[in-house]
C-alpha cells in the first residue's frame, strides 16, 4: 500500500480551489459540510500518532480499554446536492491507511458473507465462538478504522436486525463513520417489519456521528444530460428495434450465449451475454428473488447492462420497485453503462410516491438521468464517477 501523504489541503480549501478554477459553482451549503468534514480530518490526524506512541502498548493492546472513537458525520439531503463528491474528497484526504469507502448495500453484503463464513467454521468445529458478530466486527475494524458509506439506507430486515449489534462492536473498537443518505436517521427503515428492534441503532448512530443536512437548492446532476439514445421511452416496436440495434453494434456481431454467476451454492442466470456485456428483461432482474448481493455480483462481472421493458411501477409492484432501486444503486456505484427501454421517462416511472420507496426513488430518477449524460458515458465503464 502506498504511504499516506501529509495533506496540506482540506476539503473546504479544495472546494474553494475548484470554485476559483470554474469547475464547481460556489455553494454555501456544501462549504458548511466541508468544514465539518475538515474537523474529522483534524481529529483523525491528531489521533494517528497517539496510537503508535508505545510499542509495548501494541503488545498489550487487548488488555487495555478499546480506543476512543472520533465522532463521525452523517450528511443527509436530496439527491444531486454533492454529498457523494464531498465524501469522496474527504476520503482521499483522510490521513489513515485503514479506510474503506463503499456503497452501504455492498458493505452489508460483505458483512453477511463474513457471518456465513463464521457459521461454517462453527459448524466445522474450527471455532467455539457461537456469536458471529464480535469476530466479524473485529475483522472489519482491523481492516478499516474509517468507514465511509454512500447512500446509507435500510430496507432489508436482515440488515435492520443486525445493525445495532454490529455498530455497537465497531464503535467500541474506535471506528469512525462518515455516511451520506437521502433521509435523516429518524426516517431510516420507516414502517419496516419489527422496526422497534431497529430503533436502538438510530440512538447509537446519533451518539457517534454529527447529523448534518445538506440543503443546497441545486441538483447538480440534472442539466448534464444530452439525451443520448441509451434510455428509450415509451415502450414499443421502435424502442425494441433501437435496443436490438445497440446490442448488435456494441457486440460487434459476436454470438451471444447464456452464462451463470456462481453465488454460494446457487447461480444467477444471465440469459444473454457477449463478453463483458449482458442483457436482461426487467422481469428477469426485478421480479425474480434477487437482492443487493446478486446485483453487485452482476455489476462486478459486466461493464454494460441492457434492461428491456421497464414497466410503470405502482403499489402492486412494491417488491419490484425496491429491487429496481437497489439494482440502479449497484449499477451506478460500479459505473456500469446502462441501456434501457421503459414505459416512461425516469421521473414518471413510479406512479405513486409514498413511503420508503417514494423517498428513495428520487435518487433512482437522478441516477437514471446521470447514467445517460455525456459526463457519465465518457468515463470508462466499471470506473466510479467523481461527481
Q: In the beta sheet, which residues pair with residue 209?
A: 72
For residue 386, pLDDT over 50 is answered with no
Q: Are residues 321 and 206 in the same domain?
A: no
Q: Which of 156, 124, 97 is nearest to 294 (CA)?
A: 156
The reply to whether 144 falls in a domain is yes
Decide if 179 contacts 73 (C-beta within 8 A): yes
The pLDDT, as a whole number, for residue 64 is 43
CA distance 269 to 298: 10
Q: What percent of the chain has pLDDT over 90?
A: 57
How crowded is residue 277: how many other Cβ atoms within 10 Å of its Cβ? Answer: 20
Provide the pLDDT confidence category of residue 117 given band limits of 50, 70 and 90.
very high
Longest dimension (CA), the chain: 73
Q: Are residues 270 and 197 in the same domain?
A: no
The reply to whether 269 falls in a domain is yes
Give the H/E segment covering residue 353: none
The number of CA neighbours under 13 Å toward the Cβ of 384 is 14
For residue 62, pLDDT over 70 is answered with no
Give the H/E segment covering residue 312: none
Decide if 74 contacts 176 (C-beta within 8 A): no
Q: Are strands 146-150 and 176-181 parallel, antiparallel or unpaired?
A: parallel
Please identify, among 157, 182, 213, the residue that sits at the C-terminal boundary of a domain: 213
pTM > 0.75: yes or no: no
pLDDT tens-place string over residues 311-342: 999 988 999 999 999 999 999 999 999 999 99
Mean pLDDT computed over 233-239: 90
CA distance 193 to 161: 10
Q: Which of 171, 109, 179 is nearest to 137 (CA)?
A: 171
For residue 143, pLDDT over 50 is answered with yes
Provide the pLDDT confidence category of residue 377 given band limits of 50, 70 and 90.
confident
CA distance 300 to 292: 12
CA distance 312 to 300: 28
- Here the cell at position 27 is 455553494
pLDDT tens-place string over residues 155-183: 788 889 999 999 999 999 999 999 998 88
The reply to whether 1 falls in a domain is no
Q: In the beta sheet, which residues pair with residue 279?
A: 272, 306
Total domain count for the chain? 2
Q: Are residues 333 and 248 in the same domain?
A: yes
The residues, ordered by sequence, that sit 6+ positions from 230 with a Cβ below 8 Å of its Cβ are 246, 337, 338, 339, 340, 371, 372, 377
Q: Which of 352, 357, 364 is nearest to 327 (CA)?
A: 364
Please identify, among 147, 178, 213, the residue that sits at the C-terminal boundary of a domain: 213
The pLDDT, as a whole number, for residue 68 is 65
> Could you tell me the sign of the dihedral formed by the alpha carbons of 346, 349, 350, 356, in that order?
negative
Distances (CA, A) of 127 to 121, 122, 130: 6, 5, 8
The pLDDT, as a whole number, for residue 38 is 96
Q: Are residues 301 and 173 in the same domain?
A: no
The reply to whether 6 falls in a domain is no
The reply to whether 128 falls in a domain is yes
Residue 386: is it exposed, middle or buried by C-beta count within 10 angstroms (0-12/13-18/19+)? exposed
Q: Are residues 92 and 161 in the same domain?
A: yes
Give the H/E segment covering residue 342: strand 337-342
Decide if 153 contacts 292 (C-beta within 8 A): no
Helix (H, G, I), strand (E, B) or coil at 132: coil
Choose between 53 and 316: higher pLDDT.
316
The reply to whether 226 falls in a domain is no
How crowded is residue 85: how many other Cβ atoms within 10 Å of its Cβ? Answer: 19
What is the CATH number for 166?
3.40.50.300
Q: Are residues 241 and 209 in the same domain?
A: no
Q: Are residues 205 and 253 in the same domain?
A: no
CA distance 94 to 144: 12
Q: Are residues 52 and 168 in the same domain?
A: yes
Q: Are residues 114 and 204 in the same domain?
A: yes
Please identify, among 155, 183, 213, the residue that sits at the C-terminal boundary of a domain: 213
Mean pLDDT computed over 369-386: 70
Q: Are residues 137 and 187 in the same domain?
A: yes
pLDDT tens-place string over residues 239-291: 998 898 889 888 877 889 999 999 878 899 999 999 999 999 999 999 999 99
For residue 145, pLDDT over 80 is answered with yes
Domain that holds residue 260: 231-377
The reply to whether 353 falls in a domain is yes
pLDDT tens-place string over residues 216-228: 766 665 554 444 4
Q: Are residues 175 and 303 in the same domain?
A: no
Query: Can you tell me which residue has the cell 482491523?
Result: 142
Mean pLDDT of the chain: 85
Amino acid at each position: 500500500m502506498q504511504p499516506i501523504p501529509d495533506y496540506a489541503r482540506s476539503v473546504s480549501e479544495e472546494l474553494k480551489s475548484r470554485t476559483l478554477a470554474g469547475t464547481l459553482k460556489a455553494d454555501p451549503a456544501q462549504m458548511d459540510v466541508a468544514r465539518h468534514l475538515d474537523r474529522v480530518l483534524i481529529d483523525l490526524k491528531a489521533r494517528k500518532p497517539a496510537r503508535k506512541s508505545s510499542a509495548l502498548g501494541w503488545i498489550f493492546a487487548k488488555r487495555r480499554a478499546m480506543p476512543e472513537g472520533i465522532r463521525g458525520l452523517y450528511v443527509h439531503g436530496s439527491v444531486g446536492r454533492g454529498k457523494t463528491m464531498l465524501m469522496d474528497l474527504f476520503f482521499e484526504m483522510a490521513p489513515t491507511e485503514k479506510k474503506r469507502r463503499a456503497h452501504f448495500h455492498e458493505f452489508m453484503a460483505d458483512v453477511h458473507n463474513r457471518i456465513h463464513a463464521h457459521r461454517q467454521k462453527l459448524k466445522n468445529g474450527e471455532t467455539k465462538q457461537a456469536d458471529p458478530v464480535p469476530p466479524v466486527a473485529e475483522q472489519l475494524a482491523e481492516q478499516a478504522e474509517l468507514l465511509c458509506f454512500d447512500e446509507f439506507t435500510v430496507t432489508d430486515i436482515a440488515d435492520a436486525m443486525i445493525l445495532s449489534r454490529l455498530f455497537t462492536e465497531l464503535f467500541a473498537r474506535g471506528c469512525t463513520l462518515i455516511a451520506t443518505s437521502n433521509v435523516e436517521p429518524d426516517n431510516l427503515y420507516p414502517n419496516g417489519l419489527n422496526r422497534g428492534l431497529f430503533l436502538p441503532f438510530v440512538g447509537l448512530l446519533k451518539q457517534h456521528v454529527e447529523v448534518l443536512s445538506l440543503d443546497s437548492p441545486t441538483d447538480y446532476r440534472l442539466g448534464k444530460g444530452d439525451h443520448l439514445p441509451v434510455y428509450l421511452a415509451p415502450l414499443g416496436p421502435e424502442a425494441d428495434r433501437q435496443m436490438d440495434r445497440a446490442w448488435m453494434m456494441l457486440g460487434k456481431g459476436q454470438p451471444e450465449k447464456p452464462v451463470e454467476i456462481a453465488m454460494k451454492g446457487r447461480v444467477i442466470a444471465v440469459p444473454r451475454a457477449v463478453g463483458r456485456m449482458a442483457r436482461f428483461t426487467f422481469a428477469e432482474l426485478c421480479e425474480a428473488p434477487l437482492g443487493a448481493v446478486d446485483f453487485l455480483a452482476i455489476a462486478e462481472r459486466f461493464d454494460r447492462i441492457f434492461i428491456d421493458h421497464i414497466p410503470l411501477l405502482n403499489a402492486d409492484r412494491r417488491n419490484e420497485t425496491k429491487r429496481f432501486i437497489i439494482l440502479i444503486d449497484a449499477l451506478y456505484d460500479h459505473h456500469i453503462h446502462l441501456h434501457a427501454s421503459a414505459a416512461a421517462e425516469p421521473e414518471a416511472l413510479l406512479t405513486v410516491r409514498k413511503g420508503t420507496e417514494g423517498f428513495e426513488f428520487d435518487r433512482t430518477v437522478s441516477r437514471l438521468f446521470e447514467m445517460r449524460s455525456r459526463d457519465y458515458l465518457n468515463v470508462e465503464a466499471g470506473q466510479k464517477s467523481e461527481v
